[in-house]
Amino acid sequence: MEVHHYGCCSNCNHSFNSRHHWLSRNVERLQYGNPDAVPRQHSCCTVLNSEVFAQYCGEDCAWEGVFHEMAARGITGGRLGSGPVEPCSKCGTPIDLTQPHVTFELMDLTEIDQPWLSSVEPHHSETVARLCSKCGGLAIEESESISERPMIKEPISVQA
């Protein structure tokens, strides 16, 4: 059986296999359901933008990397709650989680490569920080879902 290497750890620089960890910067918003409704309404997280900026070979390297990445950004953190209003992990400003905001997520996953499809099987994901739009550098275009972005109004001509 051939072993595929999926990259090098951002912490220890060793290569890793299909099961590894990603640290990503996401722009997301939450929609809260009513747990008392019948049928029960669940909360939903919509990820508007996601950028993986570090990969780790295992859990130990991942948490060491998270500590260094957050410290480098001046994020001291604190206990994260479930909202709907939570403090920014950097400046403490209240964040309305139903509006677009920045999160840093650590995900334990397996990458699956087939000749016809590449996909990711998530095993566990944890929010390690939440930032207000100022501290997170939230750009306006990041805070719109694809369906909310303006459509192209003029036809595109393609030269053959």
The pLDDT tens digits of the residues spanning 93-140 come to 999 999 999 999 999 988 887 777 878 788 998 999 999 988 988 765
90 alpha carbon, distance to own chain's centre:
17
Kindly state whether residue 150 falls inside one of the protein's structural domains. Answer: no
Environment class of 130 (CB within 10 Å of its CB; exposed 0-12, middle 13-18, buried 19+)? buried
- Domain count of the fold of the chain: 1
Kindly state whether residue 112 falls inside one of the protein's structural domains. Answer: yes
The proportion of the chain whose per-residue pLDDT surpasses 90, expressed as a percent, equals: 36
Determine contact, residues 75/102, Cβ cutoff 8 Å: no
Determine contact, residues 46/28, Cβ cutoff 8 Å: yes
Kindly state whether residue 102 falls inside one of the protein's structural domains. Answer: yes
Tell me the residue range of the domain where 81 lies: 7-145
0.85 exceeded by pTM: no
What are the φ and ψ backbone dihedral angles of 130, each rounded to 5 degrees?
-125, 135
Kindly state whether residue 153 falls inside one of the protein's structural domains. Answer: no
The pLDDT value recorded for residue 4 is 59
Kindly state whether residue 157 falls inside one of the protein's structural domains. Answer: no
The pLDDT value recorded for residue 152 is 39
The pLDDT tens digits of the residues spanning 14-63 come to 888 888 899 999 999 888 877 676 666 677 888 888 899 899 999 999 99
Kindly state whether residue 138 falls inside one of the protein's structural domains. Answer: yes
The pLDDT value recorded for residue 19 is 83
